[in-house]
Chain A
Amino acid sequence: MALRDIAIVGTAQRPSEVNSTFTSVEILLPVIQQLLDKVGIERSDIGFWCHGSCDYMSGQPFSFVAAVDAIGAWPPIIESHVEADGAFALYEAWVKIQTGEVDVALVFSNGKSTSGPIDQILSLQTDPYMVAPLKPGFDALAALQARACLEAGVVTERQMAEVAARSRRDAHNNTIAFTKGNESVDDLLAMPYTLNPLRAHDCATPVDGCNAVVLAAGDVARRLAERPAWIRGIDHRIDTQRLGARSMIESSSAAIAAQKAGVAKDRIDVAELHAPYTHQELLLRNAMGLSESTHINPSGGALVANPAMAAGLARFAEAAESIFAGAADRVLAHCTSGPMLQQNLVCVMEGE
């Protein structure tokens, strides 16, 4: 079957905040309206809506249903939801457009990471029988992974600090970013451990945020955007949920996803990697075979603003924007989910 050409034609993101007093619906609605205005389409032009969020984060079962209020469901619409990052909703929307049923889809995601103890909430994603009852803590699992990587010589603490320093510096150019800084690598290495071997700057900043992108097929995409970001490859792979049964010093799922998405076929100008911990960026770069010539996370990445369930779709938005602006011709967007890089979604986009 020949695949349809599908592109991201517009994006919108809400600036990050903490302890937002707005509901998820109230923070989503203006972002969706802003996106529709930017792309120049009406709600009635959207053939399919797809949403990513996590009920555990709001502590309310079926809380995602309320988000339908933010998109206006009258006259009736076709919509779906994934209990995951919005990047996975984008994958579903891409499949929906591939079926030929619709030409335009709007994908959106939201996460209020500061309305609960996100470290505990995310660790509820682990195996409910053998791991979750131990309440391991998401950061602690990442720290175990970082320790394994350091001891195996796969990463160094200096490399981790370099990732943090670069991300915090790049954050100055990003209005969505929350944490910014100008520290040197040595400054960061002098900071105390918060969860040995992790320091505070090795861990992503939990924020409340939301974002949305429009996907369109073929000539519709060409009409809606001057320079659409064409999806040339997209793939999602998962490592075993048995934490003790997988290698902590590499990411085989990221490697396979990158290979299937065609990352190595040509040079990647910009890679937006969803790496909530500094050592994970290093693991992902290794797994995907990214070279020194690739600009990693010019947005500052998830380290400087991590609205859980929206931070992956944010990577797609940032990568697509660099195509729109003509700053890059071939980009990579990535989303991870689960503890220690359990799931990895990789997408390659190109300008024409």
Chain B
Amino acid sequence: MSEADGLVRLRQPIGVTYNWSAGPNATSHLAGLMNGKFVGKRCPSCALVYFPPRNGVCPKCAKILAGDVEVGPKGTITTFCIVNVPFLGQKIKLPYVAAQILLDGADISMQHLIQECEAEDVRIGMRVEPVWKDKSEWGPSLENIQHFRPTGEPDRVMGSESGAS
């Protein structure tokens, strides 16, 4: 409380601690990341492979996902944007590329950072691979990957996939 200007101010921060459970499906995905593996899940109905496995269900079929599927580690850029705008808390040097990456064997893409090339060279269909952080920094998170970088392989023609990327 302070009364310097004749007003009484009260700071009363409210905090709540939760026991959050990732659920059995996301758990195998998160455990995979702690072992340096990309583990997704397959829908028993439509056979699409989800990485990440969202909330453990296929939203198209409303079925519980079943069976771990290891995907990647390489993937293909399905779309991207070049970030030029500085913002509070900016950690990465501008300009940088945020891309949707379809890991090999997966049917939905995930977002990650593209580094080790010029932003203007990034393109749809570009093949990329993960660069992992030092193992000592790993946790149950996609942040275990520092970024993705180009592999130098020939581009993949996009649009030939069956997936819902």
A66 pairs with B16, CB closer than 8 A: no
B interface residues, tally (CB under 8 Å): 25
Interface-facing stretch out of B22-30, B71-79, B145-153: B22-30
Q: Which of A1-41 contact B (CB under 8 A)?
A: 19-26, 29-30, 32-33
Nearest A residue to B12, CB-CB:
A133
A contact residues around B26 at 8 Å (CB): 23
> CB-nearest residue of chain A relative to B164?
A74
Instruction: Give the complex CA separation of A116 and B20 in angstroms.
Output: 8
Interfacial chain B residues near A73, Cβ < 8 Å: 59
Q: Are A68 and B12 in contact (CB under 8 A)?
A: no
A117 near B59 with CB under 8 A, answer: no
Contact of B10 among A32, A116, A117, A133 (CB under 8 A): A133
A70 within 8 A of B: yes
Inter-subunit contact A69/B55 (CB<8 Å): yes
- Taking a contact as CB atoms closer than 8 A, the residue among B12, B19, B62, B63 that contacts A135 in the complex is B12
Assuming the contacts A68-B59, A71-B62, asked whether A116 and B17 have C-beta atoms less than 8 A apart, the reply is yes
Tell me which residues from 22 to 81 in chain B have a Cβ below 8 Å from any Cβ of chain A.
22-26, 54-64
Are A72 and B61 within 8 A (Cβ)? Answer: yes
- In the complex, whether A121 has a CB less than 8 A from a CB of chain B is yes
Q: Is B21 an interface residue (CB 8 A)?
A: yes
CB pair B19–A116 under 8 Å, yes or no, is yes
Bound complex: CA of A120 vs CA of B17, how far in Å?
A: 10
Q: Are A115 and B55 in contact (CB under 8 A)?
A: no
A residues 124-142 touching B (CB-CB < 8 Å):
124, 132-135
Residue of B nearest to A118 (CB): B16
Q: Could you tell me if B19 and A29 are in contact, using CB atoms closer than 8 angstroms?
A: no
Minimum Cβ distance to chain B for residue A56 (Å)? 8
Answer whether residue A59 sits at the interface, using C-beta atoms and an 8 A cutoff: yes
For B10, what are the chain A residues with a Cβ–Cβ distance below 8 Å?
A: 133
Closest residue on chain A to residue B23 by CB atoms? A23
Query: CB < 8 Å: which of A43, A72, A114, A132 contacts B14?
Result: A132
B24, B25, B55: which has the most chain A beta carbons within 10 Å?
B55
Q: A114 — nearest CB in chain B belongs to which residue?
A: B19
B18 CB-CB contact with A under 8 Å? yes
Q: A69-B54, A69-B57, A135-B12 are in contact. Are A29 and B62 (CB under 8 A)?
A: yes
**What 4 new A-B contacts, CB under 8 Å, besides A73-B59, A74-B59, A121-B16?**
A25-B55, A29-B63, A59-B16, A66-B55
30 contacts between A and B (CB under 8 A): A19-B19, A20-B21, A21-B21, A21-B24, A22-B21, A23-B56, A24-B55, A25-B23, A25-B55, A26-B24, A26-B25, A29-B64, A43-B62, A56-B16, A59-B18, A69-B55, A69-B59, A70-B57, A72-B60, A73-B59, A114-B19, A115-B20, A115-B21, A116-B16, A117-B17, A121-B16, A124-B14, A133-B10, A133-B12, A135-B12
